[in-house]
Amino acid sequence: MVFEELDSEKGPISFLKDKDYLIQDRDSFFDLIYSAASDTVAVHSSHFPELFFDLKTGFAGEIFQKITNYQKRFIIIGDYSNIASKSFKDLIYESNKNGKVIFVGTLAEAVQLLK
């Protein structure tokens, strides 16, 4: 797993640069957060399978719970304009307000929302 370690005004960020890495289950998520050098991890939305974006699967909820339990911050960079699910859009809105899991288009936007 290849990370770019970035410094921001709100602390260090480990940005996953490995384009082939897929967060397909709890174990691959744990591998990701424990391989990162900082408590804030940034990934592109393409690192998640489609089931992450379907809240009925419970996968996103499981990831969110682990982030909270292990006191991490998580940034998911992508284009969310085509998401049809109202419940997922609500999740994005609430998550961005909370500042622990952030869905944004750019890393610069994410830094502004980090808590």
> How far apart are the C-alpha atoms of 1 and 62, rounded to whole Å?
22
Q: Residue 106: name the closest of 80, 85, 72 by CA.
A: 80
pTM of the model: 0.92
- Output the average pLDDT for the chain: 92
- Express each pLDDT in 59-80 by its tens digit: 999 999 999 888 999 999 999 9
Average pLDDT over residues 35-41: 95
Q: What is the pLDDT of residue 112?
A: 87
Distance set, CA 87 to CA 60, 66, 84, 94 (Å): 12, 20, 9, 11
Two structure tokens written together for 83: 């998401």
Burial of 66 (0-12, 13-18, 19+ CB in 10 A): middle
- Express each pLDDT in 81-108 by its tens digit: 988 889 999 999 999 998 899 999 999 9
